[in-house]
Structure 1
Amino acid sequence: MAKITYIEHNGTKHEIEVPNGLTVMEGARDNDVPGIEADCGGACACSTCHVYVAEEWVDKLNPREAMEEDMLDFAYEPDPVRSRLTCQIQVTDALDGLVVQMPEKQI
C-alpha cells in the first residue's frame, strides 16, 4: 500500500492510502478525489486522468509507453517531463509518498 497525495488545481490536498495493484487513477476514483475524471475507465483511451507528477518522482516511475504519449497530446497543457496519465501508473510500495497535481481542467 502507498500513501499518495493528490493536489487539486486550487491547492487542496488529498492524502490517500491506495492498495498495491490498483492504479493511481483508481485510487482517486475510489476516494472521490475531484479533478481526475477517468472517462475511459482506465483504458488509456482519453486524457481525463492527466496529472503533473512531482519533479522528484519523475525518474522513479516507469517510463511512458507509446499509447500514453499519444493520449497526452490531447491533455490540457501537458508538460513534456511531468505529465502522466494516472491510469498508467500502477501502485506498489515503491510509490509511497508519490505526489501528483491535477491540471486546471481535464479535456
Structure 2
Amino acid sequence: MSPDFTEVRIYVEEAPGQRIEIQAPTDMNLSLMEVLKASGYDIQATCGGMALCGTCHVEVLAGPALDEPSDDEMYMLESLPILNEGSRLSCQIRITPRLDGLVVRLMPQMA
C-alpha cells in the first residue's frame, strides 16, 4: 500500500435520517458514480460518465464545497425534470481526499 493511499467516507442518504457510509479510495481517480455503482447502487450511467444522460443525478446534501459544475454538466442538469440547488452528476465528481464526509442522495430516474 502506497504511503499516499487514503480513503474517504461518503454517505448516501437512502431515507430521511438514514445514511449509509461507503468508503472510497482517493488514489484511483474514480468518479463518485463509479464508487456508487461498485457499492451496489442502481445507477444506469448510460453514457459511461460523459455527462450526456443524467442517469447518475445526485443531490449533494452536506459536506465539503465542490468545484463548480462544468458547462456540459450544467447543460445536462438543466434538461432534467427535477433540479435542486445541490443537483450534480455523480460522474463528474472525482474522489479526492477533500470529499471526506460528503452526503448525497440519489435522485429518482424519470421514465
TM-score category (smaller protein): 0.7 to 0.9
Secondary structure, counterpart of 1:13 in structure 2: strand
- Cα shift at 1:13: 3.1
Secondary structure, counterpart of 2:34 in structure 1: helix
Find the aligned partners of 2:10 and 2:62 in 1 and give their Cα distance.
15
**Are residue 50 (structure 1) and residue 54 (structure 2) matched?**
no
Task: Name the structure where helix makes up a greater proportion of residues.
Answer: 1
**2:3 matched to which residue of 1?**
none
Of structures 1 and 2, the one with the larger relative CO (CA 8 A, separation 6+) is 1
RMSD, aligned α-carbons: 1.7
- Cα shift at 1:14: 2.6
Count residues with an aligned counterpart: 101
**1:97 matched to which residue of 2?**
101
**1:87 matched to which residue of 2?**
91
Where has structure 1 moved over 6 Å in runs of 4 or more?
none
Which whole-Å deviations, capped at 9, do the CAs of 1:52-78 have from their partners, x for residues lacking one? Answer: 101454xx1010110000110232411
The answer for unaligned runs of 5 or more in structure 2 is 1-6
Find the aligned partners of 2:63 and 2:95 in 1 and give their Cα distance.
17
TM-score between both structures, scaled by the size of structure 2: 0.80
Question: Once the two structures are aligned, what percentage of the paired residues are identical?
Answer: 37
The answer for unaligned runs of 5 or more in structure 1 is none
Task: Name the structure where strand makes up a greater proportion of residues.
Answer: 2
Q: Verify the 8 A CA contact 1:4 1:16 in the aligned structure 2.
A: yes
